[in-house]
């Protein structure tokens, strides 16, 4: 079985720092992670840029938009009624925390994740994205690209998000920077090399795996 630290180092060696999550602020990440649900990043980014132009993601401006104003602004990302509701809910939730991105009052990572999942529209993947990219926690994000890659690498339990998450733990020595970069590298790798078996089999990763076995 592929060792996760080896996988990270190999991806990093060939692809360099991922620069993930691409955003100018954590507020932008918070909204981007909602807008990209069930759509492409291209569509999400259209909504993201429109909302940035309108509010610069400032909490007071987001929360004072009418429901219809927010819906009209984020329409390109689809599912705009549900997403507009979630944006308002998550912004109010962060407001209640005074926009403090640290664990509070003995709060654990698992408690924080459970609280995030109680917010309408925040699913497993979005909650984990927030843990890693907003709260700077070390957490595994088994999104679609990750599950597809891990299946090719011989891992089991890759069909469902929570199944793989229950069976994978990032190395104890990982920093949150490495957790962020690891997720970004996997997604960047997936966009290029997971289109079909031929492309993957000719990738640097497949060749490195063969070399490690020889």
In the DSSP assignment, the letter for residue 7 is: H
Query: Cα–Cα–Cα angle for 115, 41, 190, nearest 5°?
Result: 90
Q: Give the model's confidence band at 212: pLDDT under 50 very low, under 70 low, under 90 confident, else very high.
A: confident
d(CA 146, CA 191): 11
**pLDDT attached to residue 57:** 97
In the DSSP assignment, the letter for residue 78 is: S
Q: Is the dihedral of CA 187, 191, 196, 202 positive or negative?
A: negative
**pLDDT attached to residue 156:** 95
For residue range 86-106, what is the model confidence (pLDDT) as tens digits? 999 999 999 999 999 999 989
Selection from 161, 145, 129, 128 nearest residue 193 by Cα: 145
Helix (H, G, I), strand (E, B) or coil at 112: helix
For residue range 134-160, what is the model confidence (pLDDT) as tens digits? 999 999 999 999 999 999 999 999 999
Cβ neighbours of residue 147 closer than 8 Å, sequence gap 6 or more: 158, 159, 161, 164
What distances in angstroms separate CA 210 from CA 34, 39, 93, 206, one per listed residue?
38, 35, 48, 6
Domain boundaries, the chain: 4-19+140-213, 26-133
Q: Return the structure tokens found at 153.
A: 């690498």
Average pLDDT, the chain: 96
Percent of the chain with pLDDT over 70: 100
Q: Return the structure tokens found at 110.
A: 């698992």
**pLDDT attached to residue 1:** 73
Just give the CATH number of 26-133: 1.10.340.30
In the DSSP assignment, the letter for residue 37 is: T
């Amino acid at each position: 079985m592929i060792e996760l630290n080896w996988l990270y180092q190999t991806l990093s060696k060939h692809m360099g720092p991922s620069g993930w999550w691409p955003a100018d602020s954590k507020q932008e990440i918070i909204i981007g992670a909602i807008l990209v649900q069930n759509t492409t990043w291209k569509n999400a980014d259209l909504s993201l840029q429109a909302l940035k132009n309108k509010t610069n993601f400032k909490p007071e401006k987001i929360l004072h938009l009418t429901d219809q104003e927010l819906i009209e602004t984020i329409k390109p990302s689809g599912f705009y009624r549900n997403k507009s509701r979630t944006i308002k809910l998550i912004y109010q939730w962060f407001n209640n925390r005074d926009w403090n991105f640290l664990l509070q009052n003995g709060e654990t990572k698992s408690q924080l994740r459970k609280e995030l999942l109680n917010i309408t529209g925040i699913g497993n993947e979005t909650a984990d994205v927030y843990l890693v990219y907003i709260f700077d926690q070390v957490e595994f994000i088994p999104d679609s690209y990750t599950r597809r890659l891990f299946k090719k690498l011989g891992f089991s339990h890759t069909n469902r998000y929570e199944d793989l998450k229950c069976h994978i733990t990032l190395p104890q020595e990982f920093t949150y920077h490495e957790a962020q970069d690891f997720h970004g590298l996997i997604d960047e790798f997936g966009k290029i090399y997971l289109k079909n078996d031929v492309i993957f089999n000719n990738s640097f990763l497949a060749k490195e795996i063969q070399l490690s076995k020889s």
